[in-house]
């Protein structure tokens, strides 16, 4: 360890994060949402959409909610109705419900027992499919191999057209990208349904759909075979459909998912309770699927000052770690976020960046941290931008980051062209080739600027965690503690989709995920 952090202070910080986060976990355990219930039915096999493009799973959950409420979950009413009607297909049941020919009630006694048994069998089939896809990933990595170097190179594709994204993603993989992230269409996080099918129009991104996941995964499997290394795929499990997208990602073998505990609250004004309930279920699915999550602390520094608010990033990382591990994720699945966002014009800006990046690395030594490039202070000067990205790449090598998102010199100017990506990848390849192992030699001066700054940030984080514990995390979010966004717990989008669980609530997916987790695979040991 290079920062001379006090182990007692590190333990204190983690304990405070647990104490601050525990009431939120208790709340998540005792509530459900329409999106959690839809995710359960997606795991149980429901597919397709009505002629207006609204998924049948939405229509079915809405019908159950209107007839029987959400407090007991949808599984008991749905699978009781399935048995009563003699149907074997949830999609057909949803169509009948939409036509008004099926009504839903909460079964009791023997009927409830039978409905539970049937629900667990259907949901279990979906989870078995996720297990199968995870095993498939392990076999492909063993066959093709993992990238030899760290950090993994993470590159974004975002045309809006999945059929245009595919060749761009394959070209990026040939140029050295280890991870392809398909940026989600702007605004999709606020849709309370997941679109169906392949999409050819998006806004600054491509819609996250099950078919788009399938198409891109198949294309990158071809690239993995061609290149002799497994190419990973990333998308976004956030917004109002976070649990459903997590389930679809597991079913289609995505490898990483953006999944932050507070991003949707702060930057999309989604209700805090809805977000925390959805997030816990989605992370349980990610844990089972062997998916690495990427958190979003970098976003705080696009609205707050990266020096003054550095400790809020550390606090969020500690909270994200607690929430993730409580949901079953292992250290190797924690792509905790941080970013190179300090104003380059201030004195010692690079030394400050090194202090913050090394602090994250030493607080979470087993996590594949996701290091984000400069965006806030990119001016449109592509030459200056390329230089800043070079410094970002150097900071990543000096501090041993695990996942390095490729910075673009055209940030804040245009959506990058293929040629822009090629130049950016040249920058990454040069720095990693010339200085890739420099972290072995880089040791900050004892008692010097970098050590002192890192310790200062840790102490400020502990002070903030003490305040959050005293006043609750929900109140801290309402007060604008993170990213200077004030988000009260009784407001925000999606609150009407939250319900407190009644006695007898039943969720077969949660029951399976909490009782028999899949065997874990630590990619760092390969």
403-417: average pLDDT: 86
- Look at residue 521 in the predicted model and tell me its pLDDT: 52
pLDDT by residue (tens digit) across 174-203?
A: 999 999 999 999 999 999 999 999 999 998
pLDDT by residue (tens digit) across 117-128?
A: 999 999 999 999
CB-CB neighbours of 286 under 10 Å: 27
Phi-psi region of 90 (alpha: psi -120 to 50; beta: other; left: phi over 0): alpha
How would you label 158-183 residue by residue, b for 16+ Cβ within 10 Å and e otherwise? bbbebeebbebbbebbebbbbbbbbb
3-class DSSP assignment, residue 312: helix
- Look at residue 112 in the predicted model and tell me its pLDDT: 97
Task: Say which residue the tokens 């890192």 belong to.
Answer: 454
Rounded to an integer, what distance in angstroms lies between the CA atom of residue 330 and that of residue 247?
18
3-class DSSP assignment, residue 406: coil
- What are the backbone dihedrals phi and psi of residue 370, each rounded to the nearest 5 degrees, phi first? -100, 115
DSSP letters spanning 366-400: TS--EEEPP-TT--S-HHHHHHHHHHHHHHHHHTT
Residue pair 513/131 in contact (Cβ under 8 Å)? The answer is no
CB-CB neighbours of 413 under 10 Å: 15
Rounded to an integer, what distance in angstroms lies between the CA atom of residue 40 and that of residue 513?
11
The pairing of strands 31-33 and 370-372 is unpaired
Rounded to an integer, what distance in angstroms lies between the CA atom of residue 116 and that of residue 122?
10
Handedness of CA 156, 281, 287, 462 (dihedral sign): positive
How would you label 510-525 residue by residue, b for 16+ Cβ within 10 Å and e otherwise? bbbbeeeebeebebee
Phi-psi region of 480 (alpha: psi -120 to 50; beta: other; left: phi over 0): left
pLDDT bin (cut points 50, 70, 90) of residue 526 is very low
- Look at residue 60 in the predicted model and tell me its pLDDT: 98
Percent above pLDDT 70 for the chain? 98
Q: What are 294's strand-pairing partners?
A: 258, 335
Residue pair 181/404 in contact (Cβ under 8 Å)? The answer is no
3-class DSSP assignment, residue 1: coil
Residue pair 288/513 in contact (Cβ under 8 Å)? The answer is yes
DSSP letters spanning 75-140: HHHHHHHHHHHT---HHHHHHHHHTT--------HHHHHHHHHHHHHHHHHHHHHHHHHHHHHHHH
- What are the backbone dihedrals phi and psi of residue 418, each rounded to the nearest 5 degrees, phi first? -55, -40
- Look at residue 189 in the predicted model and tell me its pLDDT: 94
Closest CA to 313 of 298, 327, 323: 298
Which of the 8 DSSP states describes residue 162?
H
For residue 272, the Cα-to-chain-centroid distance in whole angstroms is 16
- Look at residue 522 in the predicted model and tell me its pLDDT: 52
Contacts of 385 (CB under 8 A, 6+ apart): 374, 378, 379, 407, 408, 409, 410, 411
Task: Say which residue the tokens 């009791």 belong to.
Answer: 108
Looking at the predicted structure, is the pLDDT value of residue 524 above 50? Answer: no
CB-CB neighbours of 47 under 10 Å: 14
pLDDT by residue (tens digit) across 215-249?
A: 999 999 999 999 999 999 999 999 999 999 999 99
Percent above pLDDT 90 for the chain? 89
For residue 91, the Cα-to-chain-centroid distance in whole angstroms is 28
Which of the 8 DSSP states describes residue 339?
E
Which of the 8 DSSP states describes residue 270?
B
Contacts of 52 (CB under 8 A, 6+ apart): none
Chain-wide mean pLDDT for the chain?
Answer: 94
- Which two tokens mark 97? 């419900």
How would you label 330-360 residue by residue, b for 16+ Cβ within 10 Å and e otherwise? bbbbbbbbbbbbbebeeeebeebbbbbbbbb
* Angle of helix 272-289 versus helix 508-515 axis, rounded to 10: 50
Handedness of CA 115, 117, 123, 126 (dihedral sign): negative
- How far, in Å, are 35, 236, 246, 428 from residue 185 at the CA level? 19, 10, 17, 27
pLDDT by residue (tens digit) across 78-115?
A: 999 999 999 899 999 999 999 999 999 999 999 999 99
Instruction: Give the active site residues.
Output: 263, 298, 370
- Which two tokens mark 411? 């940030």
- Look at residue 303 in the predicted model and tell me its pLDDT: 84
Which of the 8 DSSP states describes residue 298?
G
252-257: average pLDDT: 98
**Nearest-10 Cα torsion for 431, 219, 521, 154:** 20
Looking at the predicted structure, is the pLDDT value of residue 523 above 50? Answer: no
């Amino acid at each position: 360890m290079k920062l001379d952090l006090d182990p007692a202070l590190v333990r204190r910080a983690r304990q405070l994060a647990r104490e601050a986060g525990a009431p939120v976990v208790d709340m998540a355990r005792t509530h459900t949402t329409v999106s959690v219930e839809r995710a359960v039915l997606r795991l149980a096999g429901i597919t397709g959409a009505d002629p207006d493009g609204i998924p049948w799973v939405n229509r079915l959950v809405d019908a159950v909610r209107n007839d029987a409420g959400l407090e007991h979950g949808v599984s008991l009413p749905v699978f009781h109705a399935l048995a009563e009607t003699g149907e074997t297909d949830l999609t057909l049941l949803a169509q009948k419900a939409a036509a008004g020919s099926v009504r839903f009630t909460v079964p009791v006694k023997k009927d409830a027992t039978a409905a539970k048994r049937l629900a667990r069998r259907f949901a279990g089939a979906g989870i078995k499919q996720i297990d199968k896809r995870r095993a498939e990933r392990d076999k492909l990595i063993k066959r093709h191999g993992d990238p030899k170097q760290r950090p993994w190179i993470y590159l974004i594709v975002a045309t809006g057209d999945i059929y245009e994204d595919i060749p761009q993603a394959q070209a990026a993989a040939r140029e050295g990208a280890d991870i392809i992230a398909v940026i989600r269409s702007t605004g999709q996080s606020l849709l309370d349904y997941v679109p169906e099918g392949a999409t050819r129009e998006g806004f600054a991104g491509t819609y996250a759909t099950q078919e788009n996941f399938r198409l891109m995964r198949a294309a990158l499997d071809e690239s993995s075979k061609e290149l002799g290394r497994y190419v990973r795929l990333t998308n976004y499990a956030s917004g109002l459909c976070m649990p459903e997208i997590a389930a679809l990602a597991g079913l289609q073998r995505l490898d990483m998912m953006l999944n932050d505990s507070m991003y949707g609250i702060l930057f999309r004004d989604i209700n805090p309770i809805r977000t925390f309930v959805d997030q816990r279920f989605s992370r349980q699915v990610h844990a089972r699927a062997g998916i690495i999550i990427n958190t979003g602390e970098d976003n705080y520094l696009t609205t707050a000052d990266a020096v003054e608010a550095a400790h809020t990033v550390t606090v969020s990382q500690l909270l994200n770690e607690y929430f993730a591990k409580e949901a079953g994720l292992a250290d190797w699945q924690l792509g905790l976020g941080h970013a190179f966002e300090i104003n380059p014009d201030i004195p010692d800006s690079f030394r400050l960046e090194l202090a913050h990046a090394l602090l994250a690395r030493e607080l979470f030594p087993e996590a594949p941290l996701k290091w984000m490039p400069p965006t806030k202070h990119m001016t449109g000067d592509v030459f200056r931008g390329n230089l800043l990205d070079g410094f970002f790449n150097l900071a990543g090598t000096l501090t041993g980051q695990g996942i390095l998102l490729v910075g673009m010199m055209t940030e804040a100017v245009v959506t990058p062209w293929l040629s822009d990506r090629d130049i950016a990848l040249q920058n990454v390849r040069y720095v990693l080739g010339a200085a890739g192992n420099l972290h072995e030699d880089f040791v900050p001066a004892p008692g010097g600027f970098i050590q002192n700054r890192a310790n200062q940030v840790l102490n400020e984080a502990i002070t903030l965690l003490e305040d959050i514990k005293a006043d609750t995390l929900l109140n801290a979010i309402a007060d604008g503690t993170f990213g200077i966004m004030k988000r009260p717990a009784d407001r925000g989008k999606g609150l009407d989709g939250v319900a407190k669980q009644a006695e007898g609530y039943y969720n077969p997916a949660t029951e399976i995920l909490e009782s028999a987790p899949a065997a874990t695979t630590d990619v760092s040991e390969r």
